[in-house]
Chains A and B, each alone.
Chain A
Amino acid sequence: DAKTTQPTSMDCAEGRAANLPCNHSTISGNEYVYWYRQIHSQGPQYIIHGLKNNETNEMASLIITEDRKSSTLILPHATLRDTAVYYCIVRVQPGAGSYQLTFGKGTKLSVIP
Chain B
Amino acid sequence: GAGVSQSPSNKVTEKGKDVELRCDPISGHTALYWYRQSLGQGLEFLIYFQGNSAPDKSGLPSDRFSAERTGGSVSTLTIQRTQQEDSAVYLCASSLDGGRWTDTQYFGPGTRLTVL
Contact = CB atoms under 8 A, between A and B. Distances in A.
A93 interface: yes
B108 interface: yes
B1 to A, nearest CB: 14
B43 A91 contact: no
Range for the number of chain A residues in contact with chain B: 20 to 34
Given A43-B108, A43-B109, A46-B105, A99 B91 contact: no
A92 B101 CA distance: 7
Interface of B: 4, 31, 33, 35, 42-43, 45, 48, 50, 56, 58-59, 91, 93, 98-102, 104-110
Given A94-B98, A99-B31, A100-B45, 14 more contacts: A32-B101, A32-B102, A34-B104, A43-B107, A43-B108, A44-B91, A46-B106, A94-B99, A94-B100, A97-B59, A99-B33, A99-B98, A100-B33, A102-B43
Interface of A: 32, 34, 42-46, 49, 91-94, 96-97, 99-105
